[in-house]
Structure 1
Amino acid sequence: MSYVSDLSQSQEYLSFRSSVPLRRIVVDSDNTKGWRIYDCGPKKVKCPLFCLPPVSGTADIFFKQALALSAKGIRVISAESPVYWNVKEWCEGFKKLLDYLELEKIHIFGSALGGYLAQKFAEHTVNCPRVASLVLCNTFSDTAIFNNHESAALYWILPALVLKRMIMGNFASEKVDPDMIEAIDFMVERLESLPQTELASRLTLNCLKGYVEAHKLSEIPITIMDVFDEYALSNSVREELYKCYPNAKLAHLKSGGNFPFLSRCSEVNLHLQIHLRQFDDTEYPASERPLLNK
């Protein structure tokens, strides 16, 4: 019997799943590769907020952002990628997805691996910019922190159970409250739903040797969002990200663990609104109407 979390049985989550359809969009020549997205909010908005998950996440983990922000006129798209084995392939696939959706530019909220890939995509498209802004949550700019570049080449042959145990080893935290426990349970449930190839490809992207050429992103408005309690990455990783983006705005959460978008959704949503508000009267608003009127 598969694991069932309290959060996936909540009225809020069930409402999200019943009102927002899951779309599968194939952009590569391989028909087995399909991006899975939830598109919430006014479709006339052409520079939406894109949410990219960590290794263990599926597209629906951002349902609390999708529901709350779309109610304020913001278009929110949460996306889950198919199997890609290197960052360049992922970036090319993501670019094709944006082309398919007819989106010239987007704002990206990325958590952990999602934040790293968001930065790499901004770097990848620097000559023809597709990223209007970034919100980076509990993330990193250099995969050297994982110290297992050589292991990355072997993930594709490891059993799903082994891969899941590797990931869940980062979930545990001594100081957790009921909201954080609920978030961890939900993420475990999402992790259990992922097939071996998807887990292996995500871990490979996470650990393959690579770093962000941060100077290429100097013109992009960036907010760095992180928690001050225990989470999977070290304080030195956080400090390194600050050094990469000295002009970034900082959004600090006193607590929240690995998944603050679930455990501290109100705070995260407020910081996202503040970040996006600066674009209301520009060419790239994420909302249908100014947030100041709400």
Structure 2
Amino acid sequence: MLVIDNLTRHYGDRRALDGVSLRIEPGSFVGVIGRSGAGKSTLLRLINRLAEPSSGRILHGETDVTALSGHQLRDWRARCAMIFQQFNLVGRLDVMTNVLMGRLSHVPSHRSLLRMWSEADKAMALAALDGFDMGQFAGVRADQLSGGQQQRVAIARALVQEPEIILADEPVASLDPRNTRLVMDALAEVNRRYGITVMCNLHSLDLARAYCDRLIGLVAGRVVFDGRGFDLTEDVARRLYGLEAGEVLDDEASMPPPSMTIPARPAHHAAIGA
């Protein structure tokens, strides 16, 4: 259970997050929605400890995440993987090496610096890529891929971290409709197949309805909606987005997501490719 307790973050006089309290059940797919500046990215960055809260706590089971430092904080970031809008791949490195970077917390530092990856690590990385139909690009430089392909590589990298939680910060914001569907399918299948908790910031309300089993709506850093997709009415949309509500509704995105096949559970869940 991930518990967010009265979490607040100040940037000068502005409250980017204002007393947010949530309980996130293991294995859920949670969409965080709201207009730009509502606090969506701040919330995810605080959970991953890429930013520090001004007040409040983040708890995961018996662990006080807000009190972690050093190697314990690094371990948390491995267990709570982050996927970014900008993909954050190393463009000059090949796809396989980028995915293997997700294993850094599982291997000694001298091996990772020398890229002395074990055969088991390589097999895990390739199986993750194959599961997202990216195995044929393993030897290709990351900067030669399309945006949708790069994002699927980023998801594969997160998967081989063996995370309990994946935080996706606007993962489809820069993608066309086809690649949006492929990336969201990948996240949904990771959630369903592995039981990994997914928290995903989304701009499209109908995309959120189609993929997420719980939606959390933020306005000015405060939670103003917490419910299921069918509870998200046009009135709620107007409350969240004001005059922008019509722009974030997309009927095509509301179609049920098609399923895709990805490999068996990784490592402590059951090794990828096993």
TM-score by length of 2: 0.28
Structure with greater proportional strand content: 2
What is the TM-score of this pair, normalised by structure 1? 0.26
Which one has more relative contact order, counting CA pairs under 8 Å at least 6 apart?
A: 2
